[in-house]
Amino acid sequence: MADKLKVRMYQQDKQDVLKTLKTDAANGLTTTEAQNRLAQYGKNELQAAEQSTIFQKFVNQFKDFMIIVLIVAALIAAATGETVDAIIILAVVVLNAVFGVYQEYKADEAIAALKKMSAPNANVRRDNEVVTLPANDLVPGDIVLLEAGDVIPADMRLLESASLKIEEAALTGESVPVEKISETLYADDLPLGDRTNLAFMNSNVTYGRGLGVVTGTGMSTEVGNIAEMLETTETTKTPLQENLSKLGKSLTYLILVIAVIVFIVGMFRAPEGQTGNRVIDMLLTAISLAVAAIPEGLPAIVTITLALGTKQLTKKHALMRKLPAVETLGSTEIIGSDKTGTLTQNKMTVEKYYVDETLIAAETPVVGSAGQLADLLALNNDTKITVDGEKLGDPTETALITFNEKQHRDLAALYAKYPRVGEIPFDSERKLMTTVHPDREQFIITVKGAPDELLRRTTTRLQGGERVPMTDADLAHIASVNMTLAKDALRVLAFAFKKVDAMPLEMSSELVEQDLTFVGLVGMIDPERPEVAGAVAEARGAGIRTLMITGDHKITAEAIARRLGILSDEQGAEAIITGAELDQLDDATFKANVAQYSVYARVAPEHKVRIVQAWQAQNKVVAMTGDGVNDAPALKTADIGVAMGITGTEVSKGAADMVLADDNFATIVNAVEEGRKVFTNIQKSIQYLLSANLGEVLTLFVMTIAGWNILAPVHILWINLITDTLPAIALGMEPTEPGIMKRQPRGRNSDFLGNGLGGAIVYQGLLEGLITLGVYWFGITFPVHTGAAAHADALTMAFATLGLIQLFHAFNTKSIYQSIFTVGIFKNKMFNWSILIAGLALAATILIPGLNDMFHVTHLDSYQWFIVLGSSFAIVPLVEIVKLVQRLVMKQK
């Protein structure tokens, strides 16, 4: 019942609401009725969907295609007797599965965080008495009493409101507490933030008091709606995961085809020097070829490279919750950012003040009439300052105190001189607040409030410290200044005073708030973070578009967006759209025109998700930032969700892929740079691995076709073990290439083999294979020994060449097109050590007695080593020449 009615509850009269909910505002529900409703509607708490068990999560990790390929590779290794290799591969698979389960577990914490935010208790009328009950026992129809400091325990329609203000930033994105009313609202389709006669679960009462009737509990609340969206929103696959899956499938199909061809051809041609069972021999040959081609170390290398990127990002105050998100940052094309607390400081600040017919920047020292204005800001103020210096109260009022502190004014002395002896609290009807202070033989009455309301009660104004009559021209000028400040999205307050000889007998607006002297205006705003404008500009230079998506008002959103450069001077009102206007567009129309909009104002959580999905439908990689509960569904839907670490709620952090430890928007741009570096380094590892594997496949294929002695599975596995691990991992530690943030984003359709990488892998793999085959041919054509020894020497030379050529080629893969002398040969110390260690491990199998017998290789003399080393090194100048030609061709284009 309440779930359906609460959406339009703000349009119903209070008595109609009570009648619909069958409750009584004076007496509340009876205990019996409350128990019946509790049985009907359930506990007032968020429900999580049924979660899969840890074992089910673990088993699901093995459904990925690349993981299946790895398991097959492990079985192949075991079949060839390489138990250690099989164990290593399976260990990688299990570790990946464990990590995946951990990430799923962390993602489930978002709902748990929502549940923790709920109010523990509530003051409720039951059986004509006010009782304190656990909040989860509330039911629709309960009458709840509210006062400053309370957490709203459920969604409710307000019945009474006495200067009531509720902070809803986490839910609506509204930067300041909302003034609440109890009157009926008649407009259709009001945004959540404009439903001022409603109070929402988990928001906070900052001022005043109120009375409300519960209209929705648990999953039937607005927060419950967000929880449901979090449960049903599917996590988007990252570009990295899509690319790896695509690459794994393509490689596997290709490998199987080649292995079958080799097996069939080999069955009709007996390999020279082999006399065993032909079927077994060729089966082992096909298995060797498959082992050579499968990049079984790739997932581990990708994981390690991502982990290294994560470590670097931590140093830059970006905490990654999911490893693949590191790379996703590098392909980001759209950043949809929340305004409050992300682009702005979520802290109201005085920006300008107006006195003596002059508009002045807040940083300007106060003198003359400005000094009197500063006194009024502090005296007409309910802010409490703790012993630790923390300011407690309405953000607007704390901003006025902060202004005084920045002006180095002695507030303690001011309060001691002018203690408050009377007041008329603010209320939303007259929009004024008044305080009374003794001043020698007189009393000072200070008044602040909405400019239009206050000016109607003034008869004089302060000019140069003197009171002068207020004329119509003065009023018009002040109204013009007020409009100018409002257009800049500043929240404007007017201040006035008067002196009386005696304490007012009655603190009423009619007696006290009349015949005032106008002193000035103060313009406040939640200011943009100082570093954001530069970060937005840098993102634009990197081909990344920044959007503002906020629950705040349109005029405020537009002003901040223009100040940050999100909206250019050329963009007009057509680039800004509100949630209500968005509701008028069907999905097809919105998706077709989504590129038109840069600012979204007054939006609800479902709007944010819709915006993200519209850009994703355009094949764009979307990052979404936010800090509130209302941002969580969009953070989960986006390709990468970015939550604020300081101001962010635990809900937003739980739904995000990355958390900014410093809440600094500029950190996102730094993270994008790191993400791009991670992708290029993964590309380098892939280029190195696949070109090496192609060289191995070509070598085995031609040897089989030619009827030569072929490299055994033990040779291929050992080469893969020493060359596919340390050097490939070390490539993931390469420093950032210059100009990486001047490139356009790769986008969703890019893959690891794009930008010329696929062609480079092919020609480099062919070179490796041809050089290795050439060395084998040279060894048997110009042998040092005769007979079977000649074939053994040639096979050893091919084995050594195939391993060393991959290590030399690793230097080539430091860049696809740039010379190794440009990117730096020895900058990466880990890389240099990995090449040295792998080279020694390869040489040991040939040089150390006993090991060479295990690997079925012979000792080589100096002449043979010269051929091996010279041929292996040849890959470096050959690739350098090709790169030079490529650079010259690209330069001409």
Same domain, 452 and 600: no
3-state DSSP assignment of residue 212: strand
Mean pLDDT over residues 657-668, rounded?
83
Angle value at C-alpha 214, between 212 and 216, nearest 5 degrees = 140
Answer whether 181's CB lies under 8 Å from 228's CB.
no
- Residues 259-304 pLDDT 10s: 777 777 767 665 444 444 566 666 666 766 666 666 766 766 777 7
**Per-residue confidence (pLDDT) for residue 1, from 0 to 100:** 39
Provide the residue type at 142 as one letter.
D
Domain assignment present for 77: no
Q: Answer whether residue 618 shows pLDDT above 50.
A: yes
- The DSSP bridge partners found for residue 523 are 352, 492
Q: Answer whether residue 2 shows pLDDT above 50.
A: no
Q: Answer whether residue 109 shows pLDDT above 60.
A: no
Q: Give one DSSP letter per residue of 162-201, joined into a string.
A: EEEEEE-HHHH--SSPEEP--S----SS--GGG-TTEE-T
Answer whether 782's CB lies under 8 Å from 702's CB.
no
Work out the pLDDT band at 413, boundaries 50, 70, 90.
very high
Same domain, 303 and 335: no
Give the span between the Cα atoms of 424 and 430, in whole angstroms.
Answer: 11
Q: Which residue has the higher pLDDT, 323 or 460?
A: 460
Q: Which residue has the higher pLDDT, 460 or 709?
A: 460
- The DSSP bridge partners found for residue 458 are 516
Domain assignment present for 575: yes
**Per-residue confidence (pLDDT) for residue 358, from 0 to 100:** 94
**Per-residue confidence (pLDDT) for residue 107, from 0 to 100:** 42
Provide the H-helix boundaries in 80-219.
Answer: 83-116, 169-172
The number of distinct structural domains making up the chain is: 4
Q: Answer whether residue 95 shows pLDDT above 80.
A: no
Same domain, 557 and 585: yes
Q: Which of these is catalytic: 338, 526, 724, 793? A: 338
Same domain, 647 and 731: no
Which of 524, 554, 588 is where one domain is finished? 524
**Per-residue confidence (pLDDT) for residue 34, from 0 to 100:** 93
Dihedral Cα 309, 312, 316, 320, nearest 10 deg: 40
Q: Answer whether residue 111 shows pLDDT above 50.
A: no
Give the span between the Cα atoms of 884 and 821, in whole angstroms.
Answer: 12
Domain assignment present for 710: yes
Find the CATH number of the domain harbouring 372. 3.40.1110.10
Give the span between the Cα atoms of 436 and 376, in whole angstroms.
Answer: 11
Domain assignment present for 22: yes
Find the CATH number of the domain harbouring 639. 3.40.50.1000
**DSSP assignment letter at 576:** E
Q: Using H for helix, E for strand and C for coil, what is the string for 611-669?
A: HHHHHHHCCCCEEEEECCHHHHHHHHHCCEEEEECCCCCHHHHHHCCEEECCCCHHHHH
Q: Using H for helix, E for strand and C for coil, what is the string for 511-556?
A: HHCCCEEEEEEEEEECCECCCHHHHHHHHHHCCCEEEEECCCCHHH
Q: Annotated catalytic, 394?
A: no
Mean pLDDT over residues 726-742, rounded?
84
**Per-residue confidence (pLDDT) for residue 202, from 0 to 100:** 80
**Per-residue confidence (pLDDT) for residue 241, from 0 to 100:** 62
Find the CATH number of the domain harbouring 189. 2.70.150.10
**Hey, what are 6's tokens?**
């609460």
Q: Answer whether residue 626 shows pLDDT above 90.
A: no
Give the span between the Cα atoms of 178 and 428, in whole angstroms.
Answer: 10
Q: Which residue has the tokens 């104004």?
A: 461
Mean pLDDT over residues 810-817, rounded?
89
- Residues 671-718 pLDDT 10s: 888 888 888 888 888 889 889 988 988 888 888 778 787 777 678 778
- Residues 567-617 pLDDT 10s: 988 888 899 999 889 999 999 999 999 999 999 998 877 788 899 999 999
Query: What residues contact residue 125 under an 8 Å CB cut-off, 6+ apart?
Result: 25, 26, 27, 28, 29, 131, 142, 143, 144, 145
Which of 232, 255, 282 is where one domain is finished? 232
Same domain, 203 and 259: no
Rg of the chain taking only CA atoms, in angstroms:
36
Work out the pLDDT band at 553, boundaries 50, 70, 90.
confident
**Per-residue confidence (pLDDT) for residue 318, from 0 to 100:** 83
Mean pLDDT over residues 371-391, rounded?
90
Domain assignment present for 60: no
Same domain, 216 and 279: no
Same domain, 697 and 804: yes
Find the CATH number of the domain harbouring 269. 1.20.1110.10
For residue 867, give Cα distances in angstroms to 771, 772, 779, 808. 11, 11, 9, 15
Q: Answer whether residue 445 shows pLDDT above 90.
A: yes
**Per-residue confidence (pLDDT) for residue 173, from 0 to 100:** 61
Q: Answer whether residue 110 shows pLDDT above 50.
A: no
Q: Which helix (H) or strand (E) holds 361?
A: strand 358-361
Q: Answer whether residue 115 shows pLDDT above 50.
A: no
Percent of the residues in the chain that have a pLDDT greater than 90, as a whole number: 38
Mean pLDDT over residues 248-258, rounded?
73
Q: Which residue has the tokens 């030079």?
A: 884
**Per-residue confidence (pLDDT) for residue 513, from 0 to 100:** 94
**Per-residue confidence (pLDDT) for residue 273, from 0 to 100:** 46
**DSSP assignment letter at 596:** G
Q: Answer whether residue 369 shows pLDDT above 60.
A: yes
Provide the residue type at 604 as one letter.
A
Query: What residues contact residue 102 under an 8 Å CB cut-off, 6+ apart?
Result: none
Mean pLDDT over residues 215-219, rounded?
89
Same domain, 875 and 749: yes
Helices 222-232 and 605-617, axial angle in degrees (round to 10): 30
**Per-residue confidence (pLDDT) for residue 809, from 0 to 100:** 95
Domain assignment present for 87: no
- Residues 191-204 pLDDT 10s: 787 888 999 988 88
**Per-residue confidence (pLDDT) for residue 222, from 0 to 100:** 83
Q: Tell me the residue range of the domain where 18 lies.
A: 2-46+118-232
Domain assignment present for 333: yes
Percent of the residues in the chain that have a pLDDT greater than 70, as a whole number: 84
Which of 627-631, 715-719, 785-789 shows the lowest mean pLDDT across its residues? 627-631
Answer whether 625's CB lies under 8 Å from 642's CB.
yes
Q: Which residue has the higher pLDDT, 438 or 343?
A: 438
Domain assignment present for 678: yes
Q: Which residue has the higher pLDDT, 399 or 552?
A: 399
Q: Which residue has the higher pLDDT, 141 or 784?
A: 141
Give the span between the Cα atoms of 554 and 492, in whole angstroms.
Answer: 16
Query: What is the β-pairing status of strands 545-549 and 576-578?
Result: unpaired
Which of 49-53, 84-88, 695-699, 777-781 shows the lowest mean pLDDT across its residues? 49-53
- The DSSP bridge partners found for residue 122 are 133
Provide the H-helix boundaries in 707-828.
Answer: 713-723, 726-731, 757-781, 788-812, 820-823
Q: What is the mean pLDDT of the chain?
A: 83
Answer whether 769's CB lies under 8 Å from 697's CB.
yes
Same domain, 9 and 158: yes
Query: What residues contact residue 381 under an 8 Å CB cut-off, 6+ apart?
Result: 393, 397, 400, 401
Give the span between the Cα atoms of 174 and 388, in whole angstroms.
Answer: 28
Same domain, 165 and 244: no
Q: Which of 309, 300, 308 is nearest to 689 (CA)?
A: 300
Answer whether 548's CB lies under 8 Å from 339's CB.
yes
Which of 494, 524, 554 is where one domain is finished? 524
Same domain, 554 and 664: yes
Give the span between the Cα atoms of 605 and 446, in whole angstroms.
Answer: 41
Q: Count the residues in the chain.
A: 893
Same domain, 659 and 683: no
Angle value at C-alpha 360, between 356 and 365, nearest 5 degrees = 95
Provide the residue type at 763 as one letter.
Y
